[in-house]
């Protein structure tokens, strides 16, 4: 059987990297020959988790077709979030928890999507169903991924499946107090002062095309939102640079306080009136909008934007 590569989305977060490692391990146990790779270097949070559980980051690739004919995708399905030459390879497997958008295949394939908080939760259930043991260090990474995606089970994307998986994985990984570990891991990823302007605005950003508007939506976690906005002038400059270079018409940065689960948006570009309509709030004189209780780009930011831009 020919080798396949397994990877998550560009600008990988902890789940994108971990889900690739876990699904590759799972498929190899079933007899496939796969290698987990990543479309970027691990961020500070992922590095903290990798160090904690003694695992190495996957190799970074920029293109796939130079190595393989077939790939397996985790944690994304939209082509513009994938490897740059995704149209030149065949996707044989997909495990995801996002909306399906512009994902077209020539052939039937293996897809498992669930509306859970984290792909690592879906994978935990797959391991359980096939009675495949999860190695302790991999379980630690999967625990970290769920804590990351759900902000320690506080995001509205969190399901009972995620809560069950966290308990199970903490036990397998030998993590006695997952709340304590989770706060330490989230804080490691939320050290805003250690991040460049580009990291803050674009490190976890995704591109969306809504109603003809090409927009970039970044998200940064912080312990104090002022750590982000004290640098607002520099961040705006970087956002405009990226807009000019990539043709984004709109750039939204979501700054999320991981301790109280509130967010503040910084919005630059065109059609900001539609952003205001999406959330029913006006931007203030600093182009910012406070959104208490909003932590999930996927569940609380993209859907109202979709309604406002496509409605």
Residues that bind a second copy (CB under 8 A): 96-115, 129, 298, 303, 306
Residue 106 Cβ vs a second copy, minimum distance, rounded to whole Å: 6
Q: With respect to a second copy, which residue has the nearer C-beta, 129 or 194?
A: 129
Residue 63 Cβ vs a second copy, minimum distance, rounded to whole Å: 21
Q: With respect to a second copy, which residue has the nearer C-beta, 204 or 236?
A: 204
Q: With respect to a second copy, which residue has the nearer C-beta, 102 or 260?
A: 102
Residue 21 Cβ vs a second copy, minimum distance, rounded to whole Å: 22
Q: With respect to a second copy, which residue has the nearer C-beta, 53 or 103?
A: 103
Radius of gyration of the chain (CA): 19
Residue 209 Cβ vs a second copy, minimum distance, rounded to whole Å: 11
Q: With respect to a second copy, which residue has the nearer C-beta, 32 or 103?
A: 103
Q: With respect to a second copy, which residue has the nearer C-beta, 109 or 223?
A: 109
Residue 223 Cβ vs a second copy, minimum distance, rounded to whole Å: 28
Residue 122 Cβ vs a second copy, minimum distance, rounded to whole Å: 10
């Amino acid at each position: 059987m020919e080798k396949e590569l397994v990877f998550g989305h560009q600008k990988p977060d902890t789940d994108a990297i971990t889900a690739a490692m876990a699904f590759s391990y799972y498929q190899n146990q079933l007899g496939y020959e796969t290698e987990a790779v990543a479309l970027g270097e691990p961020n500070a949070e992922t590095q903290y988790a990798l160090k904690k559980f003694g695992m190495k980051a996957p190799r970074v690739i920029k293109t796939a077709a130079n190595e393989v004919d077939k790939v397996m995708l985790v944690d994304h399905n939209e082509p513009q979030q994938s490897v740059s030459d995704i149209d030149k390879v065949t996707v044989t497997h997909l495990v995801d928890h996002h909306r399906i958008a512009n994902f077209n295949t020539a052939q039937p394939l293996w897809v498992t999507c669930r509306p859970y908080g984290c792909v690592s939760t879906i994978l935990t259930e797959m391991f359980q169903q096939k009675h495949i043991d999860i190695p302790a260090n991999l379980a630690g990474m999967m625990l970290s991924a769920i804590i990351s995606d759900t902000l320690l089970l506080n995001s509205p994307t969190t399901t009972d499946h995620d809560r069950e998986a966290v308990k199970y994985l903490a036990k397998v990984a030998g993590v006695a107090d997952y709340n304590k570990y989770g706060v330490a891991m989230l804080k490691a990823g939320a050290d805003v002062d250690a991040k460049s302007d580009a990291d803050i605005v674009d490190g976890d950003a995704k591109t969306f095309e809504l109603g003809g508007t090409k927009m970039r939506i970044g998200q940064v976690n912080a312990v104090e939102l002022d750590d982000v906005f004290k640098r607002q002038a520099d961040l705006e400059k970087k956002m405009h640079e990226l807009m000019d270079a990539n043709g984004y018409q709109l750039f939204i940065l979501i700054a999320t306080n991981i301790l109280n689960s509130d967010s503040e948006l910084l919005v630059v570009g065109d059609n900001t009136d539609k952003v205001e309509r999406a959330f029913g709030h006006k931007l203030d004189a600093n182009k910012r909008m406070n959104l208490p209780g909003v932590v999930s780009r996927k569940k609380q930011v993209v859907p109202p934007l979709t309604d406002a831009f496509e409605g």
